[in-house]
Amino acid sequence: MDLCDANVLVTGGSSGIGFETARTLIKAGARVAITGRDAVRLQAAAAELKAHAIQADVSVAADAQRMVDETVQAFGSLNVLINNAGFGSFAPLVELEVAEFRRLMDTNVFGAMLAGQAAARRFIAQGQGGNIINIASTAAQRGFANGTAYTASKFALGAMTECWRAELRIHDIRVMQVNPSEVVTGFQARMGRQQDADGTKLRAREIAHAIQAMLEMDDRGFIPELTVWATNPN
Ligand SMILES: NC(=O)c1ccc[n+]([C@@H]2O[C@H](COP(=O)([O-])OP(=O)(O)OC[C@H]3O[C@@H](n4cnc5c(N)ncnc54)[C@H](OP(=O)(O)O)[C@@H]3O)[C@@H](O)[C@H]2O)c1
């Protein structure tokens, strides 16, 4: 697609990968709405990006529908959803708390489903195709110690991606998945972890670049899944 024709909704666009993706797509000519729950951070990000801000929690069904409605109101239509809002939580199985597992699934899985559903309904009603990019992770490809909740959420997102692709291709909707390995963002800090940003790790910019390339391919084709690794991380 030509990004000058793109009306985009980026969930979790107030920080990290979503923020950089919004910046990259706006620079390429797209109109972009970003969401987040923290109003102060969201407004600051939107002002910097010249994006449309929508305060919303993806795990709340009414918010997911409102995000799509407000994007259409602002831009006239919607043709790209970047399903990016998500967070991490890591604990060994023997210490894992069910409430925390559910909280993670509420955003990373149910939130992604609700946003995908609202966007897909809109795309079908418009009758002009559409694009959904689900931001999964290399944790959608293999399990590891302490990863029960997070890998389960990202494997589930990968499974939903395959199902949506099978259902929506007939409507000219391209359903794609991006699997970043570790990226320097606020992701680790939100878990109280320090991230070693030593200059070898991926930046959000590399992921945004991959997303731009996927969208810019002519609509007759699409990249179902794309994994991004750092070349030589420490
Ligand atoms: N960083 C990595 O190493 C890495 C690697 C692979 C995949 N990923 C994935 O990439 C995505 C973005 O992560 P990031 O690294 O950019 O993290 P980040 O910097 O912490 O950004 C997360 C964004 O999501 C928003 N968010 C979180 N929960 C939300 C909810 N329930 N409703 C609406 N917005 C919500 C946050 O804003 P509020 O908190 O204000 O709502 C923020 O804008 C996530 O899905 C993550 O799993 C990250």
Instruction: Please tell me if the CB atom of residue 41 comes closer than 6 angstroms to any atom of ligand 1.
Output: yes
Spell out the per-residue pLDDT of the chain, length 234, in tens: 999 999 999 999 999 999 999 999 999 999 999 999 999 999 999 999 999 999 999 999 999 999 999 999 999 999 999 999 999 999 999 999 999 999 999 999 999 999 999 999 999 999 999 999 999 999 999 999 999 999 999 999 999 999 999 999 999 999 999 999 999 998 988 898 888 777 899 999 999 999 999 999 999 999 999 999 999 998
- Taking the C-alpha atoms of residue 52 and residue 31, their distance in angstroms, rounded to an integer, is 8
107 C-beta closer than 6 A to ligand 1: yes
Contact 38, 32 (CB under 8 A): no
CA of 45 to the centre of ligand 1 (A): 14
Q: In order of start, what are the domains of the chain with their CATH numbers?
A: 3-228 (3.40.50.720)
Is the CB of 118 inside a 6 Å radius of any atom of ligand 1?
A: no
CA of 43 to the centre of ligand 1 (A): 16
Q: Where are the beta strands (DSSP E) in the chain?
A: 7-10, 31-36, 52-55, 80-83, 130-135, 173-180, 183-184, 202-203, 225-228
CB–CB of 98/124 below 8 Å? Answer: no
Ligand 1 center to 87 CA (angstroms): 5
Is residue 87 within 6 Å of ligand 1 at its C-beta? yes
**For the whole model, what pTM was predicted?**
0.98
Residue 217 is a catalytic residue: no
User: Catalytic residue among 150, 155, 164, 187, which?
Assistant: 150
Provide the angle, in degrees to the nearest 10, between the axes of the packed helices 112-126 and 61-75.
40
* Alpha carbon distance 8, 58 (integer Å): 16
How far is CA 95 from its chain centroid? 29
